[in-house]
A = this chain, B = another copy of it.
């Protein structure tokens, strides 16, 4: 993987609790077939062993389609399965420590909800920024709200790719792209969908039109 060439446009974040009766691996595969360009595994209430085993399965699927695959927060899991990178929030490992552990070639994304956090992360070596929550969301109850105007100011203030996150679905995705985001991170609009392939495909068409 050449991390400079990563396509962040349709960025899938997993959440097993939103799957309903679907299988996570099958859902990720359908989402990739539908146009997902990057997959992040984000699982909060699982044992390390379950996270590791899940990550191994999803890595295999993402690898089959050459889609970059990153891990939320857990650098130990990322190292264990040789993931393409990690995404870290403001309450996760400090960026400098994460970079030291992962080395220069891995993707490290950092959550930012203000321009100050965004610039600090970029200066610290973040490869992209996750900015949100741009819309209300059930999946991240403690997330700060970031208006679309604030998203635009952050995008204009940094040079690294900016991925918007938070409550993005087919009705709202166009607005975050118009606000300048390089990509949209989607959780429930794909994971909770009865047809993850079609959901991803619809989102992809809106982004690329």
Contact = CB atoms under 8 A, between A and B. Distances in A.
A73 B56 CA distance: 18
B79 A49 contact: no
A75 B80 CA distance: 10
Q: Give the size category of A's interface with B.
A: 10 to 19
Contacts of A73: 48
A101 interface: yes
A156 interface: no
Interface stretch (A92-100, A114-122, A143-151, A197-205): A92-100
Contacts of A17: none
Interface in A52-108: 52, 73-76, 79-80, 88, 90-94, 97, 101
A178 interface: no
Nearest to A49: B91
Contact of A94 (B49, B88, B91, B93): B49
Contact of A50 (B47, B52, B91, B97): B91
A76 B93 contact: yes
Nearest to A92: B48
Contacts of A88: 48
A178 to B, nearest CB: 34
A180 to B, nearest CB: 29
B93 A48 contact: yes
Most buried by B among A52, A90, A93, A94: A93
Contact of A52 (B48, B90, B94): B94
A80 B79 CA distance: 12
5 contacts: A48-B88, A49-B92, A50-B91, A76-B79, A79-B101
